[in-house]
Structure 1
Amino acid sequence: MIVVACPGQGSQTPGFLAPWLELDGVADTLAIYSEAAEVDLILHGTKSDADTIRDTHIAQPLIVAASLIAAQELERRAVRRPDGYAGHSVGELAALVGAGILTAEDAMRLVGVRGRAMADAAAMTPTGMSAVLGGDEQALLARLAEIDLSPANFNGGGQIVVAGSLPALAELAEQPLKGTRVIPLQVAGAFHTSYMAPAVATLQATVAALAPADPTITLWTNKDGSIVTSGAKALELIVNQVSSPVRWDLCMSSFADGGITGLVELAPAGALTGLAKRGLRGTPTVAVKTPEDLDAAAELLIGAAA
C-alpha cells in the first residue's frame, strides 16, 4: 500500500516553485490556480523572500498548488494512482483533490479563503507555534495547561507542536521540560487552536457552496486518523480541523495498520518523510522536493503495483 502525503504550512521555502515551472504546462496551471486562490503563485513561489511567504494567506495556496502539480506529474509518470492520500493540516485540501472529492480549482478557491480567514484570525492576537521534541507526552500536556498553551499537532515520532501566546511560548522555551527541545516555527499564528475559531464560520460558508464527490480511493483524516468515505464529511472535518489539533500520529498508526509499504511526500516535501522515518520505521519513503524526485516516486508506485 503506497500512501501519498501532502505537507502543511511551514514546509515552504523561497523559490521552491521555480524548478516546477520548467515542466510543460505548469506556468499555465499556476496562472489558473492563482486566479482561483487570489494569490500570485508564480511571483511568490519564485521571487518572494521567506518573510513574505510566511504570511498565511500566501503560504497556504503556495503549498497546496505545489502538491497538486507534483501529484499530477507523479500519476502521469507512474500511470497509476496511489492507494491512498492523507494531508497534514492545509495539505488535506490537496489530499481531497487526490482522492477525487474536489476539483483542483475548487480546492484552490477554498485554500485562498482558508488562508485569508486564518490570517485574519491570527492578526487579532499575537500568537505562534513551537515544536517540542522528546520528553514525556503527559508531562508536556500538563505543563501546557499550566501556562495556557495548546497542543496543535501530534506529529508522532516524539514531536508535538504547541501553540498560543508569544510570552507563553517564550516561557516554555526558556524553561523546557527535562528531555525536551523547543524549536520556534516560522508560522504566523496559533493554528489548530481556539484562536482560529473566527475562521471556522467563514470556511463553513464557502464549503456550503461546493459539491463534493465521495472519495474514489482511501482518504485518512487528521481528526483521528480514520478513513473518510463521504465527501461531505471530509469537508466538514477540514473546516472544524482549523481550530482543533492535527493527529498525524494517528494517521501514521492507521497507515501501519493498513499495511503501508511506501510513502511519497509531495512538494514542498521533507517534513512528513522525516516524521515517517521515526513513526513508520522501515517504510520506504520518497520526498518529492523537485521534479528530479518524481522518477524515484513513480518507481515506488510502479513497484507496488507489480
Structure 2
Amino acid sequence: MTAAGTAPAAGRPRTVLMCPGQGAYLPGALRHLAQVPAVAEVLTAVDTHAPGRAGGVSAARVLTDPGGPAPEDLVRADPLAFDLATYAAVVATAAVVLDHLPVPADAVLGHSVGDLAALTVAGVLTVRQGLQLLRIRDRLLTTAALPAAGMAATDLTPAQAADLIRTCDTPQVRIAVHNAPAQVVLAGPDAQLGEVGARALDRGHRVTRLVSRTAYHHPLLDEVSRSFRSLLRAQPVAPPRLPVHATAAGRRAHTPDRLRAMAAAHLTDPLPFHPALLALGRAGFTTYVDSGPRALLAALAKTALPHCAAVAPLRTPADADRIHRRLTRVPPAGSAAEGPC
C-alpha cells in the first residue's frame, strides 16, 4: 500500500481507525451509547432514510436491543437490515471514538463493505448516502440471477488455499480475503465451496462458514458490480477529512474516481487486508483502533504488527466513559501488551 504523503508528524503515535464489515454485527451493540448525540443522529438517520419495510426489521432497533436477532437469522430474514445495522454501528462508534481519542486519527481503513463506513467516517460520503447506497446494492443483489454462494474462513495460507482449490478442481472458488499469514476467506458457489471445505477439514484445517448473503469479493458479482459502479458515478463525493486507504487497491484513495471505486471494491475485488496492515506498519503507523464491537480487526492488527498497539474500545459493548478509558490507556507501540487492549 502506498502511504506517501499520509504519515503524520513524528513525535506522537500515528493512529489508524479501522472500520469492519459484515462480521461486526452484534445485537444491542449501541445500547449504552444511544443517548450520545452523534450516535442518536446516526440511529435517527437509519429510521428516517432507511426505515424497516412492512414485515421487515428495524436496523436501528436491533442496535439497541441485545435480544435482537442473531446474525444468521437476520441475514436470512432481512439481509438489508443486517447491512444497514452493521454500517450504522460502525459509523456511530467511529464518531464516538474520534471524539475520545487522545490524539487525532491520522488515517481510516475499511475492511470489505466496511469501506462504506470508512468513507463516511472520513467525510467523503454522508450517512444518508451510505444508507442509500446499501439500499441500491440490496436491490441489485436481489434482482440479480445469482447462484447459491457464500464464504468460509479458514486457517489456510494463501499458497495452501490455492493448492487446495487446484487439487479439488473447483475453479469457481476464489481466495476472497487475506486476513492473516494463515487466515484466508474463500468464496464461491455453495457446492464447490463445500467440497474445498471438506477437503481442508480432512487435512486437519479449520473451516468456518461465514454469515453472508452471497460470495463477496468474487466474479459472481461482476454484473452487480458493473451496475453499482455505474450508479456510483452520479454520487457526489467530498474531499476526505482523513486520509483514506483503499485496502483492495493497495493505495491511498483521494481522487473522486478512486473514492467511488473504493465504495464498490467489496463486490468483486480480492481483499489483501494483511498486506495492507504490513504496509501501514512500514509507513510508521503505530496504533490501530477497531470501531466494531467484536474486536475482529484489532486482533488482525495485533497479529500482523505485534509491536504496535491495537485497541477495540467498543468490545462487550461499552458506554462512552468506558470507551474513553480504553482509548486513554492504549499501551505504547513496542510494549509487550498481549492481544487487543
Verify same fold: TM over 0.5.
Answer: yes
Equivalent of 2:189, from 165, 172, 178? 165
Instruction: Indicate conservation of the 8 Å contact 2:18/2:110, yes or no.
Output: yes
Residue 294 of structure 1, aligned match among 323, 326, 336: 323
Does the 8 A contact of 1:14 with 1:53 survive in 2? no
Largest Rg, 1 or 2? 2
Is 2:133 the counterpart of 1:110? yes
- 1:119 and 1:299 map into 2 onto residues whose CA distance is 44
Change (3 A) 1:131 1:196: same
Shift, 1:300, TM fit: 6.2
1:215, 1:231 within 8 Å by CA — same for their partners in 2? no
Distance 1:3 1:31, change over 3 A: same
Residue 237 of structure 1 aligns with which residue? Answer: 262
The aligned length equals 302
User: Is this contact kept in 2: 1:75–1:298, CA < 8 A?
Assistant: no
* Structure that is richer in helix per residue: 1
Q: Give yes or no for contact 1:4–1:86 (8 Å, CA) kept in 2.
A: yes
Superposition deviation, residue 28 in structure 1: 4.6
1:177-256 aligned within 5 A:
178=203, 180-256=205-281
Are the structure 2 counterparts of residues 139 and 158 from structure 1 closer, same or farther at C-alpha, using a change threshold of 3 Å?
A: closer
* Structure 2 unmatched runs, 5+: 1-13, 53-57, 334-341
Q: What code does the residue aligned with 1:189 have?
A: T
Matches within 5 A, 1:1-306: 1-24=14-37, 26-39=39-52, 40-45=58-63, 46=65, 47-50=67-70, 51-54=72-75, 55-78=78-101, 81-121=104-144, 124-134=146-156, 136-145=157-166, 146-148=169-171, 149-176=173-200, 178=203, 180-287=205-312, 288-289=314-315, 290-292=317-319, 293-299=322-328
CA RMSD of aligned residues (A): 2.6
Structure 1 residues 44-53 or 67-76, which shifts more?
A: 44-53
8 Å Cα contact 1:118-1:199 kept in structure 2:
yes
Shift of 1:119: 4.9
Task: Check whether the contact 1:38–1:112 (CA below 8 A) recurs between aligned residues.
Answer: no
Q: Report if aligned partners of 2:233, 2:260 keep a CA contact under 8 Å in 1.
A: no
TM-score (norm 2): 0.79
Cα distance in 2 for residues equivalent to 1:26 and 1:180 = 40
In structure 2, give the amino acid aligned to 1:16.
Answer: A
Shift of 1:233: 1.3
Which deviates the most, 152-161 or 76-85? Answer: 76-85
Structure 1, unpaired ranges of 5+: none
Residues 258-279 of structure 1, C-alpha deviations (whole Å, 9 max, x = no match): 1121111002332111211211
